[in-house]
């Protein structure tokens, strides 16, 4: 089992082109931890904003009567990928992993694979 700090390091080191990572509580919008970022990428602001994305998707799934869980949500920008992965299981209920990637230097499939591995190992 990995702590939040170890999980953030694995997210950043395990993916080429990673710009920032966060573990976020989507019930409150608070980041439990962040790593990376820049003056142009405030991970605390991004964590709070992406909480609304998760809540909207969960609400929409409920309204549509869709069963199952969200594996991940991908937001594609001109130069970046933003990947949101809700953590399943008892220890992660209400939390999500958030990873920002440089689009030109990253492999999206590998990033999704790495996030799945981090999700399985994280212990909150």
Each residue's pLDDT tens digit, 2-27: 789 989 999 999 899 999 999 999 88
pLDDT over 90 at 94, yes or no = no
Contacts of 83 (CB under 8 A, 6+ apart): 72, 73, 74, 75, 97, 98, 99, 100, 101, 108, 111, 112, 115
User: What six digits make up the tokens of 89?
Assistant: 């299981």
Tell me, yes or no, if the pTM score tops 0.75: yes
Amino acid 61: pLDDT: 94
What is the per-residue pLDDT across 102-111, written as a single tens digit (0 to 9) for each?
999 999 999 9
Radius of gyration of the chain, Cα coordinates, nearest whole angstrom: 14
pLDDT band per the 50, 70, 90 thresholds, residue 101: very high
- Among candidate residues 38, 41, 32, the one with its CA nearest the CA of residue 7: 32
pLDDT band per the 50, 70, 90 thresholds, residue 90: low
């Amino acid at each position: 089992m990995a702590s939040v700090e170890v999980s953030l390091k694995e997210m950043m080191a395990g993916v080429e082109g990673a710009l920032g990572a966060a573990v976020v509580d989507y019930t409150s919008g608070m980041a439990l931890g962040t790593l990376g970022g820049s003056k142009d990428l405030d991970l605390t602001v991004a964590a709070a904003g992406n909480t609304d994305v998760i809540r909207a998707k969960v609400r929409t799934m409920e309204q549509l009567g869709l069963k199952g869980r969200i594996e991940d949500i991908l937001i594609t920008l001109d130069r970046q990928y933003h990947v949101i992965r809700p953590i399943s299981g008892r220890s992660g209920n209400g939390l999500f992993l958030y990873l920002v990637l440089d689009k030109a230097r990253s492999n999206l499939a590998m990033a999704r694979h790495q996030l799945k591995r981090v999700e399985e190992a994280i212990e909150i």
